[in-house]
Amino acid sequence: MELEIKKLNALRKYLGEFSFDYIPPENLNLVPLCKISGAVKVFGEYEIFDDDSVEIKLTIGYCLKGQCSYCLIDAEQKIEFTSEILYLTEKDDDNYYYDGNKLDLKSAVDDAILISQPNVLLCKEDCKGIDVT
Ligand SMILES: [Zn+2]
């Protein structure tokens, strides 16, 4: 998931869009008994500024599948998440870093996957848990 910023600059493509399919590593699955099913759809828009900083509006979409956290029947939920992030060519604590040439979106996408995941997966909004009657 790389954007070749140096090349895009040379082509004067200061504004643009991108899209990738991304298979996330296992350790990004946070909800017990659930997994991200298939690829995460990654798309977004970038803008390159004069100082080589790059602003990105990042959207990810994926399907979380597994067992309902309350009643354990099969459940799935579609998740979409958008964030605005900034890549700088100098390291600081608040933004992402790239070397001014190739910008790798992986860490931002991984972060978005972690932030966007719910604490539980439910089969329906008002699941009451295992029916014991
Ligand atoms: Zn349930």
Whole-number pLDDT of residue 51: 94
Distance 35 CA to ligand 1 centre (A): 16
Give residue 6 CA to ligand 1 midpoint distance, Å. 50
| One-letter identity of residue 117 | Q
Residues 13-34: tens digit of each pLDDT: 999 999 999 999 999 999 999 9
The tokens of 61 are what?
A: 């979409």
Task: Please tell me the pTM assigned to this model.
Answer: 0.89
Tell me how far the alpha carbon of residue 72 lies from the centroid of ligand 1, in angstroms. Answer: 6
Residue 58 DSSP class: E
C-alpha separations of 111 from 14, 67, 100 in Å: 25, 24, 21
Residue 133 pLDDT grade (very low, low, confident, very high; cuts 50, 70, 90): low
**Cβ neighbours for 105, distance < 8 A, ≥ 6 positions apart:** 1, 2, 3, 20, 42, 56, 58
